[in-house]
Amino acid sequence: MSDSARRMLAAYAWPGNVRELRNALERAVVFSPLGRGVGASRSDFLDPEDFPDTVRAAAPGAASPVAGLRSLEEVEREVIAATLEATHYQISRSAAALGISRKTLLEKRKKYGLK
């Protein structure tokens, strides 16, 4: 097994415990060059790309699956601000357009510092 594969396995949390580890190792062996019958170095036949995506995501330096995404609060604030602007800051119309109560809109407006 390559050093990078060992580091990746050590970094993964293994929520399924030993069974998940065993399944990941079996899958890696089956899909590795050695498991497919292709010549490979015996000392380095398991690499990170042989493992499932969920395990590879834990590898040091792996890109986060949510990298670049905004939080729900950021999106909510943006939608509320746009709705308020579109309704010329009429709270009742904005609340109706958003499908929330007037009181909830007032609370969220205060929470996000919107006028």
Domain assignment present for 61:
no
**Stronger pLDDT, 2 or 66, i.e. the higher one:** 2
Residue 101, pLDDT above cutoff 90: yes
Read off the DSSP letter of residue 49: G
pLDDT of residue 44: 52
Chain mean pLDDT for the chain: 78
Residue type, 63: A
Domain holding 101: CATH number?
1.10.10
Domain assignment present for 65:
no
Q: Which domain holds residue 37?
A: 3-56
> Are 13 and 49 part of one and the same domain?
yes
Residue 37, pLDDT above cutoff 50: no
Read off the DSSP letter of residue 7: H
53-57, 66-70, 74-78, 109-113: segment of lowest average pLDDT:
66-70
Domain assignment present for 67:
no
